[in-house]
């Protein structure tokens, strides 16, 4: 399923170098192939802005429906960004007004980094609500990732996320709870999902909101759930879009923070992510870091080149299958007029709210 390079966004060139299929817009216009327009509201901080683009673009492009994908990244101006990120957004991103005027077939909303306990106090709170409410009325399906799931559960369903005793950090086994739902049709009944968060919304909170849990972990809790109609809102609580090395990058960042005196404790290993061999290598590195700090000298370079090639990815294939199911259902539901509100044309007897 090809991505269409409908702008000069650098992510397209990066994905081409990885071997992904990306076709120029001028070629796509001459192909008699159905197109879907997917929005990406990217709320991630500056350092993760482009990486998050690549992760979600890659998932879309790896699907196997016969359709052209036009990706439309945008962000919220209320998010604080540095000069370089602001210039990047100004050069390559669309505005929400442009998105509303053109319409979308589907929308993905990323997570975000927050400092406070109450999401309603964040600068992005009101504009995020505006985007979600517009999408609920005008877009076939919206996929909410991690923190956005928590935000939507709070403002739409009155369920506040709960602080965990410790960070849920690692790769956890999950099971499909409803094998008959179209989003999980044909996927592995047991598969892994990365998690990286300090808060959660529990199964009980999802169910009290009338939401349907599709995938859950005994250790990590609910990962995948859907709205009452079965499709209009899709909730991820984990990070299935992560690259193989995404958690390694997070671990490295925390180790370097310890080395710089920005955190008191040396970061623990992520659960179910490093092999015993890699943990031994990292234990040895931890001793080198502590020794350097005691001696007042620079800590040695993090052994990322030694660790990264030995990491396993146990989640991408199943995530790709779920995204493929999501896009396949959108393909069936949508027509070519993306500005028609989603609520028009719904069969009330259809539990998935499919257009007729």
Given a contact cutoff of 8 angstroms between Cβ atoms, the answer to whether 45 and 78 are in contact is no
Catalytic status, residue 146: yes
Question: What would you measure as the largest C-alpha separation in the chain, in angstroms?
Answer: 71
CA-CA distance, 7 to 12, in Å (whole number)?
A: 9
Q: Which DSSP letter does residue 338 get?
A: T
Residues 6 or more apart whose CB falls under 8 angstroms from that of 24 comprise 4, 5
From the candidates 241, 250, 316, 320, give the one annotated as an active-site residue.
241
CA-CA distance, 330 to 250, in Å (whole number)?
A: 33
Residue with tokens 């007042």: 296
Residues 6 or more apart whose CB falls under 8 angstroms from that of 37 comprise 70, 72, 102, 103, 104, 105, 106, 338
Given a contact cutoff of 8 angstroms between Cβ atoms, the answer to whether 41 and 110 are in contact is yes
From the candidates 146, 212, 223, 316, give the one annotated as an active-site residue.
146
Beta bridge partners of 141: 106
Beta strand pairing call for 106-109 and 221-226: unpaired
From the candidates 72, 212, 223, 239, give the one annotated as an active-site residue.
239
Residues written for the chain = 356
What 3-state DSSP class applies to 83?
Answer: helix
User: Tokens in use for 136?
Assistant: 């609920």
Residues 6 or more apart whose CB falls under 8 angstroms from that of 25 comprise 4, 5, 6
167 in the Ramachandran plot: left (φ > 0), alpha (ψ -120 to 50) or beta? beta
What 3-state DSSP class applies to 33?
Answer: coil
CA-CA distance, 95 to 73, in Å (whole number)?
A: 9
**Which residues are catalytically annotated?**
146, 239, 241
């Amino acid at each position: 399923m090809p991505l269409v390079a409908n702008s000069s966004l650098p992510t397209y060139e990066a994905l081409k170098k990885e071997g992904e299929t990306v076709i120029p817009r001028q070629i796509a216009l001459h192909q008699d192939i159905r197109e879907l327009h997917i929005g990406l509201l990217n709320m991630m901080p500056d350092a993760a802005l482009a990486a998050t683009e690549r992760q979600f673009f890659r998932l879309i492009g790896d699907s196997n429906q016969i359709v052209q994908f036009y990706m439309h990244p945008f962000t919220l101006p209320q998010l604080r960004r540095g000069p370089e990120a602001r210039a990047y957004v100004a050069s390559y991103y669309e505005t929400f007004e442009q998105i509303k005027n053109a319409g979308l077939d589907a929308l993905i909303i990323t997570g975000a980094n927050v400092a406070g306990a109450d999401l309603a106090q964040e600068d992005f709170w009101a504009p995020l609500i505006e985007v979600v409410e517009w999408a609920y009325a005008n877009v076939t399906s919206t996929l909410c990732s991690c923190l956005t799931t928590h935000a939507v559960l709070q403002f739409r369903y009155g369920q506040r996320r709960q602080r965990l005793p410790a960070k849920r950090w690692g790769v956890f086994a999950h099971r499909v709870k409803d094998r008959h739902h179209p989003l999980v049709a044909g996927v592995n009944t047991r598969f892994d999902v990365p998690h990286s968060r300090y808060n959660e919304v529990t199964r009980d909170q999802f169910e009290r909101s009338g939401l349907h849990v599709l995938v859950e972990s005994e250790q990590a809790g609910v990962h995948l759930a859907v709205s009452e109609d079965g499709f209009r809102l899709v909730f991820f609580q984990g990070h299935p879009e992560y690259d193989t090395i995404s958690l390694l990058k997070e671990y490295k960042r925390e180790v370097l923070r310890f080395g710089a005196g920005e955190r008191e404790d040396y970061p623990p290993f992520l659960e179910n992510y490093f092999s015993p061999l890699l943990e031994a290598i990292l234990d040895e590195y931890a001793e080198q870091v502590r020794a350097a700090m005691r001696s007042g000298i620079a800590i040695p370079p993090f052994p990322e080149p030694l660790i990264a090639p030995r990491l396993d990815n146990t989640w991408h294939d199943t995530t790709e299958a779920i995204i493929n199911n999501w896009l396949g259902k959108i393909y069936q539901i949508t027509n070519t007029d993306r500005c028609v509100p989603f609520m028009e044309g719904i069969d009330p007897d259809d539990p998935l709210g499919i257009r007729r």
